[in-house]
A and B are shown apart, each in its own frame.
Chain A
C-alpha cells in the first residue's frame, strides 16, 4: 500500500508539469488545447529516441521541450493565422503528431522508418544519472529505516527520484508564477481574459496566443520526456486521454485549494495532479476494476467536477427562494391577523 502510494506521488509530481501546461491554456489563455495528447508523446518520443542514439539525457530532454514548444506554436498558428476553431486546431495537430511521433521514434533504429515504441531499459536517464550522485550519500537507508520504524511494511528502493522530480516541479511552478507576473505574462493573461482590451493597449493577441500555446506544450512535452525516462518506455499511445487527465488535475486542485492568487492556483494544480495519481492508484486496488477502466473513471471525475458545482449552486438558489417565499407568506399572514384585530 505505502509503496504504491509512494509511486503515485512520484508520478503525480511529474504529471504536475503537464497539468501546469494545461492550466496555462485552459485557464489562463481560455483556450481548450487538445494538442496535449500528441505533444506529450512528442516529448517522450524525442527524449527516448535521442537517449537511444547516445545523447546525454539532459540534452535529450531539452530537445524534447523544444519539440513540444514547436508543436504548440503550430496549433497557435492554425488558430490565429488559419482562423481555425480552437478545438479543431488542437485535434488536427494531435492527429498530425501521431504520425510525426511514429517517425520520431523511427529515427532510433537504423532499418525502420517508423516505430511504435522505444525501450530504455539499459540506457542512462536523468534519473539513473541522479542516482549515481545520490546513492553514495547513504540517505536512502537512513530514510528507509525511519519509515520502517514508523510501521510501513516496505520502504521504497530510493528516495532520490522523488527528490529530483520534486525539485524540478517546484522550479517549474515558481518559474510559471514569475512568468505570469512579467509584462509578457500579464499580456498573455489579459489575452485570455479580454482580447479587445489588451489589443487597445498595443498587444498583438495572435502572438501572445501562439506564445502561450508554445510554452504550454513545451511543459507538456517536458513532462512526457520525464515519464518516458521514469518508466523507461515510450509508446505512441501513451498520450491518449492526457488532456482529460490534465483537466482533472486542474479541476481537482482548484476545488480543494482555490485560485485566489496565481501562486495558489499553480500550487493547486500541482497538488491536483498528485491527488489524481493517488485516486488512480486506489482505484486500481478495487478488485473488479481493470487499469483500462481508468480513462472512464477520469472522464467521470471531470464530468462530476464540472456538474456538481452547478447543482450545488442551483440547490442553494432554490433554498434561498423558498426561504424568501415562506417569509413573505408569514408577513402577509401577520398583516391579515393585525388587520382582523383592528377591525375587532
Chain B
C-alpha cells in the first residue's frame, strides 16, 4: 500500500547547519496496517511524514502509494490518496467557513472540483450521519463557523474530514499532542474507531509511548534519521514501555532517560 525505499534527506546541505534528517529509510505498509512511530525530537518522524505527504521531497529514494510512484508528485496532487491530520488543531480546518462547508471541501478531496454546489441535500445527510459518529453534537451545528469550535472539536472534525473519503493512506502527525489529556483521550478513541471502521492503512507519529503501544498493529522507533527498531504484529500485543526502553539501550548503547519526559511515558 505504502512503500518507502532508500529515502534520504539532508537539510541545509553544505552549510554550518547541515543536518541529516533521514538516512536510508525503508518502510513497507501492507493494506490495513496501522503503524505507530515513536522517537525523540529531531529523530525524523515528522520529516518522514512530510515526505509521504509531499510537503517535502527526498534528495533520493522512491515513494510508492497503491502501486503508483509518487516521489515527484506535488503535494496537492498526492493528497487525493492521502488523508492527513496535523498536530495543530487550527491547521486542518478553515476557521471562517462553516462545518458543512469544511466537510464539503474534504468531500472533494478525491474528486474534480466543479461548479456544483459544495453542499447539497444529499451531501448534507451524509455529513450529518458522519458527524453523528463523533458524538459531539456537531451534526446539529452544520452552519456554525469552525473558528467557534474548541480545539478538541476541531481536531475531531479534522479527523473525520481526513478519513470519511476512504484515503489510501492516513497520516497522523502527533494529532493529540496539543490537546489536554481528556480531549486527547477522546481523539485517540475516535482515531481507533474511525481507522477500524474504514479499515485504513495508517501511519501515526506520537510522542506518547503508551499511545503508541495501545494503538495499531505495528510499531517503529526512529532515532537520528533512521528506523532503529521495528515491532511486528506478533510481538506488538505484549509490548510494554520498559521493553521499549531496554531495546533502545540495547541498540544505542545509551540510556533513554533524557527522552523519557519527551516520550511522555
Contacts and interface: CB of A to CB of B under 8 A. Distances in A.
Interface of A: 179, 181-187, 189-190, 193-194, 196-205
Contacts of B77: 202, 204
Contact of B109 (A179, A196, A201): A201
Given A183-B108, A187-B105, A203 B113 contact: yes
B234 interface: no
Interface in B90-105: 90-97, 101, 104-105
B95 A205 contact: no
Interface of A, secondary structure class, is helix
A202 B91 CA distance: 15
Interface stretch (B116-124, B200-208, B220-228): B116-124
A178 to B, nearest CB: 8
A200 B80 CA distance: 8
B86 interface: yes
22 contacts: A181-B119, A182-B118, A183-B104, A183-B114, A184-B113, A184-B114, A184-B115, A185-B118, A187-B113, A189-B101, A190-B97, A194-B94, A198-B94, A199-B75, A199-B76, A200-B82, A200-B86, A200-B92, A201-B106, A202-B76, A202-B77, A203-B108
Contact of A200 (B79, B96, B119): B79
A149 to B, nearest CB: 46
Given A181-B119, A185-B118, A187-B108, 14 more contacts: A181-B117, A182-B114, A183-B114, A183-B117, A186-B104, A186-B105, A189-B97, A194-B94, A197-B91, A197-B94, A200-B92, A202-B79, A203-B113, A204-B76
Given A196-B86, A200-B79, A202-B80, A183 B92 contact: no
Nearest to B96: A193
Contacts of B110: 202
A197 B93 contact: yes
Nearest to B162: A200
B53 interface: yes
A197 B106 CA distance: 9
B175 interface: no
Nearest to B95: A193
Contacts of A197: 91-94, 105
Instruction: List the 9 shortest-distance A-B pairs measured between CB atoms, nearest first.
Output: A193-B94, A183-B113, A202-B80, A202-B79, A186-B118, A190-B94, A201-B109, A200-B84, A194-B94
Contacts of A182: 114-118
Interface of B, secondary structure class, is loop
A201 B79 contact: yes
Contacts of A196: 86, 91
A203 B111 CA distance: 10
Interface of B: 53, 74-80, 82, 84, 86, 90-97, 101, 104-106, 108-110, 113-119, 161-162
Contact of A186 (B82, B101, B109): B101
A268 to B, nearest CB: 15
Nearest to B104: A186
Most chain B CB within 10 A, of A202, A203, A204, is at: A202
B127 to A, nearest CB: 13
Nearest to B171: A200
Most chain B CB within 10 A, of A181, A182, A200, is at: A200
A203 B96 CA distance: 18
Contacts of B84: 200
A200 B53 contact: yes
Contacts of B76: 199, 202-205
A153 B66 CA distance: 78
Nearest to A28: B96
B197 to A, nearest CB: 20
Contacts of B94: 189-190, 193-194, 197-198
A202 B109 contact: yes
B97 A186 contact: yes
A185 B119 CA distance: 11
A133 B84 CA distance: 58
Contacts of A184: 113-115
A269 B98 CA distance: 21
A185 B115 CA distance: 8
Contacts of B101: 186, 189
Contacts of A198: 94, 105
A26 to B, nearest CB: 13
A201 B75 contact: no
Nearest to A191: B94
Nearest to B79: A202
Most chain B CB within 10 A, of A186, A189, A198, is at: A186
Contacts of A203: 76, 105, 108, 113
